[in-house]
């Protein structure tokens, strides 16, 4: 009886722990769903999904004026979060193209490049199966000055994803924003980031816009 009770408590504890990350962005996801219920997005649009680099893109609508785009960036998102919420704010839209930015926060939270790459594979498998006719563009993690101590992990993750996509004949493309954001000496360009040295200013988004529009 005691063993059964302990087992039940253990299962309950695991369930609580697993549920906590899912609740982290629940309010933001529900806001997206509420907006979708009021004005359902048309199918075959271009979707941007990922972390704060998309959420804080203040002039996003102006830069992509003339394109049918949806921005579903939610601050602090990790790759696992994009996978977790894909069935709610990605797959239902049946987009023609999806631009993904995630992975930097994972590494910034002390996850290894190998662990984050495994998270990428989970997302890759899910989206490839659910949206076989959609084009996916995975944006490399950027060289944020505030995360220079993770430089080797960031670069290793980018290399793993790039090599994986290149080795396959698939509907995924890797977009390298990392190297265009570096100065000649190999350090991050100082004038393209906000004072927090993590998020980009308008000059940083100029680089992203140019690279992304090649695929629009």
178: nearest Cα among 146, 214, 151: 151
Contact 92, 49 (CB under 8 A): no
Q: Where are the domains of the chain?
A: 24-213
CA distance 201 to 207: 10
Which CATH superfamily hosts domain 24-213? SGNH hydrolase (3.40.50.1110)
Q: What is the pLDDT of residue 6?
A: 37
Chain CA centroid to CA 134, Å: 17
Per-residue confidence band for 195, with pLDDT thresholds at 50, 70 and 90: very high
Per-residue confidence band for 16, with pLDDT thresholds at 50, 70 and 90: very low
- The two tokens of residue 82 are 């994009």
Q: What is the pLDDT of residue 4?
A: 44
Decide: helix, strand or coil at residue 72: strand
Per-residue pLDDT of 75-113, as tens digits, reads 899 999 999 999 999 999 999 999 999 999 999 999 999
Specify the higher pLDDT residue, 9 or 167. 167
Decide: helix, strand or coil at residue 103: coil
* Buried/exposed 67-95: b ≥16 CB within 10 Å, e otherwise: eebbbbbbeebbbbbbbbbbeebbbebbb
Per-residue pLDDT of 30-43, as tens digits, reads 999 999 999 999 99
95: nearest Cα among 113, 72, 114, 78: 72
Other C-beta atoms closer than 10 Å to the C-beta of 161 total: 23
Q: What is the pLDDT of residue 20?
A: 44
What is the residue-averaged pLDDT of the chain?
91
Per-residue pLDDT of 19-32, as tens digits, reads 444 578 999 999 99
Contact 162, 118 (CB under 8 A): no
Other C-beta atoms closer than 10 Å to the C-beta of 148 total: 12
Q: What is the pLDDT of residue 10?
A: 43
CA distance 145 to 123: 27
Per-residue confidence band for 162, with pLDDT thresholds at 50, 70 and 90: very high
pTM, full prediction: 0.88
CA distance 211 to 177: 7
């Amino acid at each position: 009886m005691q063993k059964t009770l302990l087992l039940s408590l253990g299962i309950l504890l695991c369930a609580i722990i697993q549920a906590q990350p899912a609740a982290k962005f629940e309010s933001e996801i529900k806001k997206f769903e509420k907006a979708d219920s009021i004005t359902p997005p048309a199918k075959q649009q271009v979707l941007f999904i990922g972390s704060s680099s998309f959420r804080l893109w203040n002039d996003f609508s102006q830069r992509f004026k003339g394109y049918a785009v949806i921005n579903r960036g939610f601050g602090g998102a990790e790759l696992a979060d994009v996978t977790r919420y894909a069935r709610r704010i990605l797959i239902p839209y049946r987009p023609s193209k999806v631009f993904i930015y995630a992975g930097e926060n994972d590494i910034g939270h002390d996850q290894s490049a190998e662990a984050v790459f495994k998270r990428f594979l989970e997302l890759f498998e899910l989206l490839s199966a659910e949206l076989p006719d959609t084009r996916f563009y995975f944006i490399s993690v950027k060289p944020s000055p505030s995360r220079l101590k993770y430089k080797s992990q960031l670069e290793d993750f980018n290399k793993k994803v790039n090599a994986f996509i290149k080795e396959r004949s698939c509907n995924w493309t890797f977009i390298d924003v990392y190297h265009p954001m570096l100065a000649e000496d190999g350090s991050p360009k100082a004038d393209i980031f906000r004072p927090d040295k993590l998020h980009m200013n308008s000059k940083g988004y100029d680089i992203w816009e140019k690279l992304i529009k090649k695929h629009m």
